[in-house]
């Protein structure tokens, strides 16, 4: 049967999918931390910090992710810095997607009505307390749908780390194709798994967006 080769090797693809999910989860956590920190500096920081964040955003968003991965894997060793593929891939992807997360969280913070700030200040709250109690909880709700959409893009972008030898779903598919000479069946299975992951995240984004509308 044409699909027998896929069914026999599907468990190997699932192992690769597990690595993809772990890589995506780790990247999402670190990118979110970078994004929140950068957004706070850009909105509330002094001028030098705002300029530094702007420079970071323009540089990172203006360079392809693949080129950043190549620079980490092939360029940094010439400077004496050698990073293993797994932490290096997570680091580069976190820095890259942190720039997009920054804009998501910045927009969510700035979207809050001015009356929220004025009411909190009228109650005698200082900025740290305003952020913790008033701003951030509402900003997280506003940022949730675009955040999940960015996570979908992040999952698909993990396929690029196979270029630097990091084993994940795409790498597993390539290795199986080289052994079985059945590219159509195996790559079909890879595409199906990516679709299931990304579709599930997209549905989660729709659900969160719906809950937000209901809450408002």
Task: Give the model confidence (pLDDT) of 103-162 as tens digits.
Answer: 999 999 988 888 877 788 887 888 888 888 888 888 888 898 899 999 999 999 999 998
User: DSSP assignment of 131-174, as one string?
Assistant: IIIIIHHHHHHHHHHHHHHHHHHHHHHGGGGGGGT--SHHHHHH
Residue 85: pLDDT band (50, 70, 90) is confident
User: Where in the chain does DSSP place strands (E)?
Assistant: none
Distances (CA, A) of 111 to 43, 103, 115: 12, 12, 11
Contacts of 180 (CB under 8 A, 6+ apart): 5, 9, 186
- pLDDT of 55 higher than 70: yes
How confident is the model over 15-21, as a mean pLDDT? 94
Of all helices (H) and strands (E), which one includes residue 120?
A: helix 114-122
Classify residue 198 as left (phi > 0), alpha (psi -120 to 50) or beta. alpha
pLDDT of residue 56: 97
- Output the CATH code of domain 4-215: 1.10.3720.10
CA angle 83, 33, 23 (to 5 degrees): 50
Nearest to 38 by CA among 28, 53, 52: 53
Q: What does the mean pLDDT of the chain come to?
A: 89
pLDDT of residue 112: 83
pLDDT of residue 4: 85
How confident is the model over 159-178, as a mean pLDDT? 90
How confident is the model over 175-197, as a mean pLDDT? 93
């Amino acid at each position: 049967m044409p699909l027998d080769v896929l069914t026999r090797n599907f468990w190997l693809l699932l192992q690769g999918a597990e690595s993809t999910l772990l890589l995506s989860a780790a990247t999402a956590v670190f990118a979110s931390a970078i994004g929140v920190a950068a957004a706070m500096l850009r909105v509330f920081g002094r001028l030098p910090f705002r300029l530094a964040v702007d420079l970071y955003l323009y540089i990172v968003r203006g360079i392809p992710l693949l080129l950043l991965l190549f620079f980490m894997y092939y360029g940094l060793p010439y400077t004496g810095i050698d990073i293993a593929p797994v932490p290096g891939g997570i680091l580069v992807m976190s820095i890259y997607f942190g720039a997009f997360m920054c804009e998501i969280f910045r927009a969510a913070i700035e979207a809050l009505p001015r009356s929220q700030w004025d009411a909190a200040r009228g109650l005698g709250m200082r900025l740290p307390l305003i952020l913790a109690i008033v701003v951030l909880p509402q900003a997280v709700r506003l940022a949730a749908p675009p955040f999940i959409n960015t996570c979908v893009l992040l999952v698909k972008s993990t396929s690029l780390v196979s270029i630097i030898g990091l084993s994940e779903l795409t790498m597993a598919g390539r290795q199986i194709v080289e052994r079985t000479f059945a590219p159509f069946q195996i790559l079909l299975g890879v595409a199906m798994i990516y679709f299931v992951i990304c579709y599930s995240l997209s549905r989660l984004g729709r659900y969160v967006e719906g809950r937000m509308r209901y809450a408002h």
